[in-house]
Amino acid sequence: MVKRLAAAILAVMLFVVPTALAQSPLTPDEMAAWDEERFEQLSSQGDPVKEEQLVYSVTPWSGPTIGRGTIAVKNQDTIYLMANRTNLMNARITDVYYWPITKEYMANWNEKNITVEGSLRIRQGNEIVATLEPETYVYYYRDTSSGLAEVVLGEEGVRLYEEYDAAMNEYWDISRAYYEAQMEHYSVLDAILRQVQETNEYVAEDEVPKSPRQPVPPSGYVYAPRTAFVVNLPAGRYQIEMVDPDGEVIPGTTKNLIVFEPRRLGVAYEVRPEATWTKYWYTHDPAEVLYLEGRRVFYLLPYGTEEYNVYQYNKSQNLHQPLYGEGLKSSWGWVPTNVIELDVKLQVLRDGEVVQEVPFKPYYVQQTAGFALGYIIHEYDQDNPIMYNRSPSFYGYKLDLEVPSGSYEIRLVDAEGNVLPGSAREIRSIRRDPGVYRTMYLVPLIPFVLGVAVYIRRRRLRPRAGTLPAA
């Protein structure tokens, strides 16, 4: 039996391990060779070997942080992109080298960056899905402080850039005027100060001229327009290739393209308890329940998320790092995708009834000395002297809750009253008085007590020594 079992395990291992190895990115030998190569390169301190290659430079859509690119080098035959999103792509000729320290392919764009002219043809088998021409685009940062960008295509992008350019020029002009006014203001103040010193008479407050207001720069930022192929496809498997103006496929440009979509849409919350402002955490999954003890004040900072396969997502963002995402084919993760609009409200429900509606508001965190927490969180008011010339610390929903029993539900609704998918969460307050603990430990003993009773009853059926046959 043991021999048979051992044989079966051996058979499974002989099948499983080679299968797994065959799909693994690197064999142990390759890893050893890799490390050796790395060692040699580091010890020689020489430049890595560069090779001229035709590569695809890809700027995949990655939510509000778009702009980070990757490259698909010669030996990578598959590119991954998110479905129904604006992904940017170009075919270029450059020098590529492998940098063993960070284990990634790098392109020497500074020395060689030749755009391959032509169209990008997208096929599914023999069927041509699309033939793309390069389009103009800009990166548009609505608000530079947030670092969140969007891609705006075509004339709209150009217009945004021109508007931004004009606004910046205007800002520089206003700024110049401001600095001049400021200088003049200082000279007036100096004159008043001298007068006071000479006459020893104070000047009434309303006679002191007000300082000129500092101009505010445009809140956004727009990059200068550039061109790329805009790949926005539904999920599926495709093939891409560059074709020249004669319709001929440019050698070395054919690659597979996997376009993938999210498994779920959701809303994540950054949860910041008022009492532990610096210890915050996130809730991504609608199946997560928020637990409180007693009455608690906390802030929820929401943002849109989508759940993607981690392998595909990593490959889309980091194709130049071949190890990235390996071993994560069965893993799923939440990716931040969009900011929540200001007019979205948070509803608190009890037994399906809305009991409270919380607006999305800006808040300001005032650092304090001596106060127990070291800070006070205020609702933002730019006219409040504490917050004068300051921006809000954050935007969010303030909740002040206690759940005496059962649960509350929270969810986000937009201006039209639609519930944002994945925004619902359950909120509960725990109970933990001594009676609760007693019950918690005593209830599990019910089966045991019953078992003892059954056992004793059953034992009585055992014949006792010396039992006489009944008549």
Partner 1 sequence: MIRTEGLTKRFDDLVAVDNLDLHVEKGEIYGFLGPNGAGKTTTIMMLLGLIKPTAGRIWLFGKDLSEDYFNIKRRIGVLSEFHYLYEDMTAEEYLRFFGELYGVEDIDNRIKEVLGLVNLYHRRKELLGGYSKGMKQKFSLARTLLHKPEILILDEPVSSLDPHGIKEVRDILLEENRKGTTMLISSHILSEIERTCHRVAIIHKGKLVAQDTMDGLRRKLTEETEMYVTVEGLTDAIVDALRELPFIRSLSVDGQTVTLRMDADKDYRGDLSRKIVDLGGVVLDMRRHEMSLEEAFVTITEKNINLLAKEGSAA
Partner 2 sequence: MSMAIRFRSARIQAKREFRSTLTGPGIYVVLSLIFFGVSLGYFRNRLLEVAEQGVINILNPGQTPWFYAIGLAALYLGVCAAISISRERDMGTLEVLFYGPVDSLSYVMGKYAQQMMAFGVVLVFALINFYVVNTVTNLGMSNVLGLVVLSIFLTSAIISFGILLSALTKRMTVSIILFLGLNLFFFAFTTAHLFLQSLSAMGVELSPVFVFIRSLLDNTNFIVEWISPLSYFLRGSRALSMGDTGQYLLSLLSSAIYTVVALALSVGAFNWKGVRR
Binding site for partner 1 (CB under 8 A): 458, 461-463, 467, 469-471
Q: How many residues bind partner 2 (CB under 8 A)?
A: 77
SS3 298: strand
The only residue of 211, 382, 391, 439 in contact with partner 2, by rule CB under 8 A: 439
Binding mask 298-327 for partner 2 (x = CB under 8 A): x-----------x----------x-xx-xx
CB-wise, 446 or 461, nearer to partner 1?
461
Using only C-alpha atoms, what is the Rg of the chain? 33
List the x/- string, 126-155, binding to partner 2 by CB under 8 A. Answer: ------------------------------
Partner touching 469 among partner 1, partner 2, none, CB below 5 to 8 Å by kind? partner 1
- State yes or no: residue 463 binds partner 2 (CB under 8 A): no
Closest to partner 2 by CB, 1 vs 372, is 1
CA distance 118 to 115: 9
In total, the chain counts a number of residues equal to 471
The answer to the question of residue 409 lying near partner 2 (CB under 8 A) is no
Return the number of the residue (389 or 405) whose C-beta is nearest partner 2.
405
406 contact choice in partner 2, partner 1, none (CB below 5 to 8 Å, kind-dependent): partner 2
CB of 450 to partner 1, least distance (A): 18
Task: Name which of 225 and 322 has its Cβ closer to partner 2.
Answer: 322
Q: Rounded distance, CA 85 to CA 67, Å?
A: 14
Q: Which is nearer to partner 2, 203 or 430 (CB)?
A: 430
Token pair 């508001």: residue: 361
Report residue 196 as tokens.
């006071």
Q: Which is nearer to partner 2, 91 or 267 (CB)?
A: 267
Q: How far apart are CA 390 and CA 382, in angstroms?
A: 7
For partner 1, the closer of residues 444 and 469 by Cβ is 469
C-beta separation of 170 from 163 below 8 A: no
Q: Residue 211 binds which one of partner 2, partner 1, none, with CB within 5 to 8 A depending on kind? A: none
Residue 105's beta-bridge partner residues?
Answer: 98
* Residue 377 contacts partner 2 per CB under 8 A: no
**Residue ranges in 5-64 that form contacts with partner 2 under rule CB under 8 A:** 5, 16-17, 19-21, 23-26, 28, 31, 34-35
How are beta strands 281-283 and 264-273 bridged, if at all?
A: antiparallel
Closest approach of partner 2 to the CB of residue 16, in Å: 5
- Which 55-74 positions form the footprint of partner 2 (CB under 8 A)? none
Residue that the structure tokens 């000129």 belong to: 212
Cβ 436 to partner 1, closest distance in Å? 39
Residue 211 CA to residue 463 CA, distance in Å, equals 106
Q: Which one, of 205, 217, 125, 135, lies nearest residue 171 by Cα?
A: 217
DSSP state letters, 95-135: EEEEETTTTEEEE-TTT--EEPPSEEEEEETTEEEEEE--E
Cβ neighbours for 96, distance < 8 A, ≥ 6 positions apart: 50, 51, 52, 53, 55, 71, 73, 74, 105, 106, 107, 108
Identify the residue among 330, 367, 389, 467 touching partner 2 (CB under 8 A).
Answer: 330
DSSP character string of 181-198? HHHHHHHHHHHHHHHHHH
Per partner kind, with CB cut-offs from 5 to 8 A, the member of partner 1, partner 2, none near residue 470 is: partner 1
Q: Indicate the residue among 103 and 345 with the shorter CB distance to partner 2.
A: 103
Q: Are 212 and 183 in contact (CB under 8 A)?
A: no
Backbone dihedral angles phi then psi of residue 63, each to the nearest 5 degrees? 80, -150
Compare residues 432 and 457 and give the one whose CB is closer to partner 1: 457
